[in-house]
Amino acid sequence: MELPTIVLPDTQTYETISIPLPTADVPSYKMIFVPPSDLERPEGTQEVKTETETPAPPKLDIPVLDIQLPLPTAEVVATATYAAVAAVATTTLATPFFDQIKKKLQKFIQGKIDKWKQKKNQKRKI
């Protein structure tokens, strides 16, 4: 009795690619020392005043009404200006496009209404 056999080709060897291990730069920070809450100035020393205080916001004085209105900071004014300019520019540029779309939609809808009226009138005549 003859048994079937499978003839396999010779094996081939492939070289593998060596992939280096990933590395990362870990950030390091200088240690921050927080003074204790009961820290006091040493005796015999004087307090040094620094000018880190923020100046009072400017105010607009209206003498007739005797009212002081606080003026906004430059950052607030700049942000409001950018927003206003962007809104006006967008509206100005988009208006012609919306007008064209509106006209085409009105014609389309009016055409549909006219067809509906014609069909309704034809049904009444019959």
- At residue 40, the pLDDT reads 83
Mean pLDDT in residue range 42-49:
82
Spatial separation of the C-alpha atoms in residues 70 and 60, rounded to whole Å? 6
- At residue 111, the pLDDT reads 94
CB atoms within 10 A of CB 72: 12
Say if residue 52's pLDDT is above 70: no
Mean pLDDT in residue range 42-47:
83
Instruction: Quick: pLDDT tens for 57-91.
Output: 788 888 888 888 888 888 889 999 999 999 999 99
In angstroms, the Cα distances linking 53 to 28, 40, 50, 103, 108 are: 32, 21, 8, 60, 66
